[in-house]
Amino acid sequence: MIVSVRDLTIGFRGDDRDLVAVDRISFDVEEGETFVIIGESGSGKSLTGMSIAGLQPRIAFVSGSILFKNREALNQPDAELRRIRGAEIGLIYQDPLGSLNPVWPVGNQIAETLTAHGLARPAAAMERAIEMLDRVHIPDPARVAAAYPHEISGGMRQRAMIAMALAASPSLLIADEPTTALDVTIKAQILELLAEVKREMSLTVILITHDMGVVAEIADRILVMYAGRIAEIGSADEIMLHPSHPYTAALMTSAMISETPAKQELNAIVGGIPGLDALPSGCRFHPRCPRAKADCVTAEPRRREFGAVEVACFHPIVAEAVAPARTGRGAS
Amino acid sequence: MSVSAASPRRLKAQPVGVLLPLALVVLAILVAFTLVPGLIAPHNPIALAMSDRLKPPSLLHPFGTDEGGRDVFSRVVFGARYSLGVAIAIVFVSALFGVLYGALSGMAGGRLDNLMMRIVDLFFGFPALVLALAIAASMGRGLGSVALSLSLIWWPGYARLVRGEVLRLRERPHVEAARALGVSRFVILLRHIIPFVVQEVNVRITTDIGYALVAVTALSFLGLGANSPTPEWGLLIRDSRPYFGSAWWYLVFPGAMIMMTATASSIIGDALASRRPG
């Protein structure tokens, strides 16, 4: 495994008590897989993903352990983390326009990744930057390398961000909502590109999203997060076909709207994600859960094996009981 | 450009549009005064000519003469070097030091930042006049003392401005992205933060030159600055006081120079401010 997270807790010091956004979660990411962390806004998914590169917010406190290639990555000195960032872990953000510095040409910023790690001298780094732009299928890469971020399209910017993240040939790519700011056709192209570079550069990809469509497209394994806890974790095929946690099931049905006929009822999940200062007792999903019983209110379910997946629920959905979800969605 | 002339940007730019050319003319004149006073001034600014004492403005002496028979216009021309020169020096030294200090403080964060900002407060709160008096007392009065005392109270403004900007800018996504790529703090500061701070600092410098000029001339006027017979503008006004009743030109022209310079600096600063991108 390339990443091993144990009892990761991320919180913020409050005035009278601490607000815990990610609560004692553990998971492994295997080398070469596409691991998707999915959850609503506020579920702690981005905090979890970013903390692997040591990029949690300055004001957050973090405990537990994150092993990256068997080396502790948590609470390491900045100089240590800087060696890993960019060189061994590449990151892509949601907002490609904001993430590019408006005062420097695109190529210049891709080259910076290489010069920052002493991997190339400026001239050679620039050549490599143009190569990378070509690699992410940007037409006329030399011209785009000399262009400023505002001069190129949103899709191109995200491609440039991918080129930037991969310039130093990292082995792990963390993508935080990489397609959220893009329109549907560009989104499909970017996902396709991610799948392609992953294959060609033998990358491990951790993708953070709230979009079930993205999951279906490229996930090998899924981690479903809810209010800072893991709801369900397991192979993507298994979870997509037979969601065991009622929350996962609800996410699946709410995600089908775009592809189902207009007549079908829109399945939104009732209620909203709880605030960090008002987490419910027991299972954190129980106030919104259609299957909640008395024990869900009093005790927090432990994660346990259930069929081919692990699920933290007292009353998981038995595979047969679920209406067949989307099957055989091609990757086209 | 499009026809939509009523955009807020254009409305805002309009008043500047009238004054800016005037301010730029004043600036051009000042630059000429400072660089080549010998080519512009018709007379020697220092040499006495007692037969020409306190003559009113004429073709020979456009701003009249002073109590020593010296040409006030020539003294004003040569004075730009002293008054404006010292003001510019104060602002640039302050900006250079303040930017460095503020950037370091902002990047350091935490306790060090806190300590560095308390030191800034210390200098910020110090009354300029008291400091100038103390320095003049220990170093002797002169433009050097003026430059030192004003620089000491001037740099904290830049340190505060830049620190605030750094704190704001370092949360920008592109700074976060650079951090995520393993770019060092120093390079982040240099390439991803300073270019955005520079715009703010440029505006501040332009406006501050006018304020600094007023401060320099004020200290000279109070007798803490330049010594006779240096043709420093504040000193000209100081020397003119006994003759105001009979020789208005001696006071009015140097005063007008100070006012015009300070106003031009403020107008050009405003113009820069309204032209910088968000």
Contact list, B172 vs chain A (CB under 8 Å): 98
CA separation for the pair A269, A246 (Å, rounded): 10
Residue with tokens 């690699």, as numbered in its chain:
A135
- B223 Cα distance to chain centroid: 20
What is the spatial distance between Cα A25 and Cα A303, in angstroms, rounded to a whole number?
A: 10
β-bridge pairing A221-226 and A60-68: unpaired
Contact between A228 and A22 (Cβ < 8 Å): yes
Nearest to A285 by CA among A266, A313, A316: A313
Kindly state whether A117 is in contact with chain B, defined as any CB-CB distance less than 8 angstroms. Answer: yes
A55:B176 CB<8 A: yes
Contact flag A101-B178 (C-beta cutoff 8 Å): yes
Residue A326 lies in a domain: no
Q: How do beta strands A304-306 and A309-311 pair?
A: antiparallel
| CATH number for the domain harbouring residue A41 | 3.40.50.300
**Domain total in chain A:** 1
Determine, yes or no, domain membership for B148: yes
Measured in degrees and rounded to the nearest 5, phi and psi for residue A28 equal: -120, 150
Q: pLDDT category, B6, cuts 50, 70, 90?
A: very low
Question: Between chains, do A93 and B179 touch, taking CB under 8 Å as contact?
Answer: no
The verdict on a CB contact (< 8 Å) between B184 and A82 is yes
Alpha-carbon distances, residue A213 vs A92, A147, A176, B155 (angstroms): 19, 32, 15, 55
Residue A44 dihedral angles phi and psi, to the nearest 5°: 95, 10
- A205 in Cβ contact with A175 (< 8 Å): yes
3-state SS, residue A217: helix
- Tell me the C-alpha distance between B234 and B117, whole Å: 33
Residues 6+ apart with CB under 8 A from A330: none
Would you call B176 and A99 a contact, using CB atoms and an 8 Å cutoff? Answer: yes
- The structure tokens listed for B48 are 């006495």
Query: Positive or negative CA dihedral for B55, B227, B152, B77?
Result: positive
Residue A175 C-alpha, separation from nearest chain B C-alpha, in angstroms: 11
Residue of B nearest to A95 (CA): B173
- Write the pLDDT tens digit of every residue in B54-106: 999 999 999 999 999 999 999 999 999 999 999 999 999 999 999 999 999 99
Q: Which of B107, B174, B191 to mutate to test the interface with A (most CBs of A within 10 A)?
A: B174
C-alpha–C-alpha distance, residues B145 and B226, integer Å: 9
Q: Which two tokens stand for residue A322?
A: 């679920």
Instruction: Please provide residue A3's backbone torsions phi and psi, each rounded to the nearest 5 degrees.
Output: -130, 135
Answer whether residue A328 is part of any domain: no
First to last CA, chain A: 29
Instruction: Tell me whether residue B80 is in a domain.
Output: yes
Q: What is the mean pLDDT of chain B?
A: 89
Residue A175: left if φ>0, alpha if ψ -120 to 50, beta else—which one? beta
- A15 in a structural domain: yes
Predicted pLDDT of residue A217? 83
What domain range is A283 assigned to?
3-88+170-321
- Report the percentage of chain B scoring pLDDT > 90: 68
Asked if B233 and B83 touch (Cβ cutoff 8 Å), the reply is: yes
Option in A55, A87, A164 nearest B179 (CB): A55
Question: Domain limits at B123?
Answer: 18-38+60-275
Q: Report the domain count for chain B.
A: 1
Residue A241 domain-assigned (yes or no): yes
Question: Exposed/middle/buried for A104, CB within 10 Å: 0-12, 13-18, 19+?
Answer: middle
Each of the 332 residues of chain A gets a pLDDT tens digit; together they read 899 999 999 999 888 888 999 999 999 999 999 999 999 888 999 999 999 998 888 889 999 999 999 999 888 888 889 999 999 999 998 888 889 999 999 999 999 999 999 998 999 999 999 999 999 999 999 999 999 999 999 889 999 999 999 999 999 999 999 988 888 888 889 999 999 999 999 999 999 998 888 888 889 999 999 999 999 999 999 998 888 999 998 888 876 545 555 555 556 677 788 888 888 889 999 998 888 889 999 999 999 988 889 999 999 988 654 444 444 444 43
- Chain-centre distance for alpha carbon B205: 7
Q: Is A55 a domain residue?
A: yes
Give dist(CA B213, CA B236) in Å, integer.
14
pLDDT at position B65, please?
93
Report the CATH number at residue B92: 1.10.3720.10
Residues of B with CB below 8 A from A53's CB?
180
How do A221-226 and A34-38 pair as beta strands?
parallel
User: Euclidean distance between the first and final Cα of chain B, in Å?
Assistant: 20
Calpha distance A271→B129 (Å, rounded): 64
The distance of Cα B75 from the centroid of its chain, to the nearest Å, equals 20
Q: Is A143 within a domain?
A: no
Q: Chain B closest CA to A75's CA: distance in Å?
A: 16
Does the residue B169 lie in any domain? yes
3-state secondary structure of B246: coil
- What's residue A267's pLDDT? 64
CB nearest B177 (choices: A84, A99, A117): A99
Please answer yes or no on whether B181 and A85 come within 8 Å at the CB atom.
yes
A vs B, Cβ pairs < 8 A, gives 68
Within a domain: B264? yes
A98 found inside a domain = no
Chain centre distance of CA B145:
16
Helix (H) / strand (E) containing A12: strand A3-12
In A210-275, at which residue ranges do the beta strands (DSSP E only) sit?
221-226, 229-235
**A63 contacts A7 by C-beta, under 8 angstroms:** yes
pLDDT for A263 equals 56
Using alpha carbons, select from B223, B237, B184 the residue that is nearest to residue B76. Answer: B237
- Is residue B219, in this structure, part of any structural domain at all? yes
Tell me which residues of chain A, numbers 161 to 200, contact chain B at a CB-CB cutoff of 8 Å.
Answer: 161, 164-165, 168
Which residue's entry shows tokens 């949360």? B171
- Rounded to a whole number of angstroms, the CA Rg of chain B reads 22
DSSP E strands: which ranges in A129-228?
Answer: 172-176, 204-209, 221-226
d(CA B277, CA B166): 17
Residues 6+ apart with CB under 8 A from A3: A28, A29, A52, A66, A67, A68, A172, A204, A206
In a domain, A145, yes or no: no
Q: Which residues of chain A have a CB within 8 Å of the CB of B196?
A: 103
Let me know: does A242 contact A307? Beta carbons within 8 Å: yes
| Residue closest to A235 by CA, chosen among A246, A224, A225 | A224
- Whether the bond between B229 and the residue before it is cis, its omega within 30 degrees of 0, is yes
Q: Chain A residue with minimal CA distance to B173?
A: A99
Name the nearest CA neighbour of A26 among A252, A318, A225.
A225
**Structure-token match 């800087």, residue found:** A82
Asked if B173's CB is within 8 angstroms of A102's CB, the reply is: no
Instruction: Say yes or no for a CB contact (<8 Å) between A91 and B177.
Output: yes
Contact status, residue A197 vs residue A203, Cβ threshold 8 Å: yes
Q: What tokens does B1 get? A: 């450009």
Name the interface residues of B facing A (CB cutoff 8 Å).
Answer: 109, 172-174, 176-185, 187, 191-192, 195-196
